[in-house]
Chains A and B, each alone.
Chain A
Amino acid sequence: MSSDLVLKTEDLTKHYGGVHALEGANFEMKMGEHIAIMGDNGAGKSTFVRQITGVEQRTRGKVYFYGKEVNFTGPLDAREAGIETVFQTLALADDLDVSDNLFLGREKTKWNFLGPFRRLDYKAMREDTMAGLVKTGVKIPNIRNSIANMSGGQRQCVAIARTATFASKLTIMDEPTAALGVQETAQVEKIIATLKAAGEPLILVSHNMRQVLDLVDRIIVFRRGRMVADLKVSETNGEDVVAYITGAKTGAQFEGAA
């Protein structure tokens, strides 16, 4: 397979008992691409993401990440390989501050001979946190404040900055703005634009048509567990996408699929 692909799936399938949540998804993502995944509730978007990030084990099919076949046994496995996911439910510890959360589970340490009692290198972590925030354009007035004192938008930004701090090879965001206000949504969208400018590949799961058309290069539409369209944003429009989502249309290359 060609090596300029970030992610490729072949016949990716997931059945929950008799429910075919995902059926034969063949997906390709090029370097630096931003791809949106759209579809109605229960169309298979989240199922697709869960198979890629190792949260669940697929029924069938293959996943290639940067040209290598991968079998993630859990979300940590995927993260170690370089896939950072911003989940709908934010995985943040409220009582810790920004850099603590960014480095949770992979702290920078000194005096490692002390085992679990090794010393935290706060200085290095705070410097890296600042660098990550600058890179993503996240504005947080004081990174030493606990997350509990922050707005939903700021918390979401912290979750996103976490992905940027660790030079991830692929960022996946599952409805990152679903719970945010207008201004906060704008903030998150600017971060996504910043990642695009930096050439960092991203998969965005979203219901927000305007957001998707503004931000990504390609839109993949799922319907009833199958991929039904692969649209270049430059060659489509909102009405067209809605037609695919609702089933009024099906992409030529997917005829007979759904």
Chain B
Amino acid sequence: MTETSHGVGGLTFDKSKKAWPNELNVLFALVIIVVIFEILGQLLPYMNDQSFLFDTKDRFGSIFNEARLKIIILQVAIIGIIALGATQVIITAGIDLSSGPLVAATAMIAMSFAQTELVNGNPNPKAIFGTWAMDLPVIAPIVVGLLFGALIGAINGTFVAYFRIPPFIATLGMFLICRGIALWWSSGRPVSFPTESYKFIGSGMMPVVWFLSLAAIFHVILKYTVYGKHTYAIGSNEEAARMSGINVKRHKVLVYMIASMLAAFAGIVLSAKASTAQAGMGEFYELFAIAMAVIGGISLTGGRGSIIGTVLGAMVLGVIRSGFTFIKLDGSYQLMAMGGIIIAAVVLDQFRQRNRV
């Protein structure tokens, strides 16, 4: 295209203000963190020259330490699914705190429709419903779980959009409500013994398959559909979006519904992976999901952020967690490091913002 071949006036375009894709910064940070752990693996006296990511001892017959790569992504996949929804909510300048407890509530409810009638020839000791709900096709718990998520999301979205309750407050309330539902559902007892087909949803690398497929789908949706464009427009300038004829309220409800359905699906995958559902599941998941989006370069004031960024943000958290295990530092250090990195990500974002126009 020949954009400069026409026109009048003397306006020039400052090329230095051209936006550098933020995803590249996150990728760069990811590489640096990997390099740091590689160096630590060589330097720390108790590490015996181990490589963090590479298969130097030729245990896998490939370039990379495949076991580590799998663990890195597997341990962030389920929270990553929630983060895909958190990303969309934050792009509209909202926030969803209810997703962690929603994971637990959905796990309990969905698992109740996925139980087997007999466990080792005996009746299921954890049965929630009668025989009518036993050995149902796997679609039943999935549909029930997603409908529950859609309902919670619709309530969140309605309070945010139509009653103008700040998203932080509306979803904080729902945070407590969902944890309450999870505890109330089976009076605090776990729900267990699912069908084989239900277990398959969370078996092996299936969580990673779900995470990456959903990431691909929502990347396309955010970039190439009207839904995506309006999501960014609302977060960027809600008044302009309204003046342009976008039904802002209805759109927000849809965004919160999608986010909650993703969290509900994460609950299904998590319970399938664990073969049990417990009311305490998903603790801090909402915060880690938000952290992934933030590390991925999202702006909490809305309008900016991407699925690719969030996936990279998830990878950063996964690498840090795996790296601390690698250098044999326990969870307390991991939490401190992750906290530091979240703050650093926001500080860098503020810095970037200030350097704009």
Residues of A participating in the B interface, judged by any CB pair closer than 8 Å: 75-76, 79, 87, 89-96, 100, 104-107, 109, 114, 116-120, 122, 126, 130, 133-134, 137-143, 145-146, 148-151, 153-154, 157, 183-184, 186-187, 190
Q: How far is the CA of A100 from the CA of B237 in the complex (A)?
A: 13
Question: Among A92, A137, A141, A149, which residue has its beta carbon within 8 angstroms of that of B3?
Answer: A141
Question: Among B1, B13, B233, B245, which residue has its beta carbon within 8 angstroms of that of A93?
Answer: B233
Contact B225 A95 (CB under 8 A): no
Contact A93 B8 (CB under 8 A): no
B18 proximity list for chain A (CB < 8 A): 142, 145, 149
B224 proximity list for chain A (CB < 8 A): 119-120, 122
Contact B221 A117 (CB under 8 A): yes
Q: B1-58: which residues lie under 8 A (CB-CB) from chain A?
A: 1, 3-4, 6-14, 17-19
Contact A91 B239 (CB under 8 A): yes
Q: How far is the CA of A151 from the CA of B233 in the complex (A)?
A: 20
B246 proximity list for chain A (CB < 8 A): 104-105
Question: Among B3, B235, B237, which residue has its beta carbon within 8 angstroms of that of A91?
Answer: B237
Q: How far is the CA of A23 from the CA of B96 in the complex (A)?
A: 49
Contact A104 B6 (CB under 8 A): no
Question: Among B13, B17, B237, B245, which residue has its beta carbon within 8 angstroms of that of A92?
Answer: B237
Q: How many whole Å from B224's CB to the nearest CB in chain A?
A: 6
Q: How many whole Å from A249's CB to the nearest CB in chain B?
A: 37
Q: Answer whether residue B304 sits at the interface, using C-beta atoms and an 8 A cutoff.
A: yes
Q: How far is the CA of A157 from the CA of B226 in the complex (A)?
A: 24
Contact B226 A184 (CB under 8 A): no
Beta-carbon nearest neighbor of A112 in chain B: B226
Beta-carbon nearest neighbor of B251 in chain A: A116
Besides A117-B227, A118-B225, A139-B7, 18 new A-B residue pairs in contact (Cβ under 8 A), listed by A number: A94-B303, A95-B303, A95-B304, A96-B232, A104-B240, A105-B246, A116-B230, A116-B254, A126-B1, A138-B7, A139-B4, A143-B1, A145-B18, A148-B356, A149-B17, A149-B18, A149-B356, A184-B9
Q: How far is the CA of A224 from the CA of B8 in the complex (A)?
A: 39
Binary contact readout B218-246 vs A (1 if CB under 8 angstroms, 0 otherwise)? 00010011110110110111011101111
Question: Among B11, B19, B235, which residue has its beta carbon within 8 angstroms of that of A146?
Answer: B19
Beta-carbon nearest neighbor of B247 in chain A: A105
A143 proximity list for chain B (CB < 8 A): 1, 3
Contact B244 A149 (CB under 8 A): no
8 CB contacts below 8 A, A to B, read A100-B233, A104-B244, A105-B241, A105-B244, A117-B221, A133-B6, A153-B9, A190-B9
Number of interface residues of B (CB under 8 A): 40
Interface of B, secondary structure class, is loop
Residues of B participating in the A interface, judged by any CB pair closer than 8 Å: 1, 3-4, 6-14, 17-19, 221, 224-227, 229-230, 232-233, 235-237, 239-241, 243-246, 251, 254, 303-304, 356-357
CB-based A-B contact count at 8 angstroms: 132
Contact A95 B232 (CB under 8 A): yes
Question: Among A96, A116, A151, which residue has its beta carbon within 8 angstroms of that of B226?
Answer: A116
Q: How many whole Å from B267's CB to the nearest CB in chain A?
A: 24
Contact B245 A79 (CB under 8 A): yes
Q: How many whole Å from A209's CB to the nearest CB in chain B?
A: 22
A142 proximity list for chain B (CB < 8 A): 3, 13, 18
Q: How far is the CA of A184 from the CA of B4 in the complex (A)?
A: 17
Contact B17 A93 (CB under 8 A): no
Q: How far is the CA of A94 from the CA of B210 in the complex (A)?
A: 33
Beta-carbon nearest neighbor of B227 in chain A: A116
Contact A75 B19 (CB under 8 A): no
Contact A107 B226 (CB under 8 A): yes
A183 proximity list for chain B (CB < 8 A): 9-11
Q: How many whole Å from A251's CB to the nearest CB in chain B?
A: 35
For the complex of A and B, the 8 pairs showing the least CB-CB separation, nearest first, are: A139-B7, A105-B244, A187-B9, A141-B13, A105-B245, A95-B303, A93-B236, A104-B244
Q: How far is the CA of A93 from the CA of B236 in the complex (A)?
A: 5
Q: How many whole Å from A93's CB to the nearest CB in chain B?
A: 4
A133 proximity list for chain B (CB < 8 A): 6-7
Contact A91 B243 (CB under 8 A): yes
Q: How far is the CA of A187 from the CA of B251 in the complex (A)?
A: 37
Contact A187 to B11, CB < 8 A, known contacts A95-B232, A130-B1, A149-B357: yes
Question: Among A75, A122, A148, which residue has its beta carbon within 8 angstroms of that of B357?
Answer: A148
A89 proximity list for chain B (CB < 8 A): 239
B7 proximity list for chain A (CB < 8 A): 133, 137-140
Beta-carbon nearest neighbor of A117 in chain B: B225
B304 proximity list for chain A (CB < 8 A): 95
Q: How many whole Å from B16's CB to the nearest CB in chain A?
A: 10
Contact A153 to B11, CB < 8 A, known contacts A93-B232, A94-B303: yes
Question: Among A90, A114, A126, which residue has its beta carbon within 8 angstroms of that of B225?
Answer: A114
Contact B240 A93 (CB under 8 A): yes
Beta-carbon nearest neighbor of A76 in chain B: B245
B10 proximity list for chain A (CB < 8 A): 183, 187
Q: How far is the CA of A107 from the CA of B245 in the complex (A)?
A: 11
B226 proximity list for chain A (CB < 8 A): 107, 109, 116-118, 120
B235 proximity list for chain A (CB < 8 A): 95
B243 proximity list for chain A (CB < 8 A): 75-76, 87, 91
Q: How far is the CA of A157 from the CA of B4 in the complex (A)?
A: 15
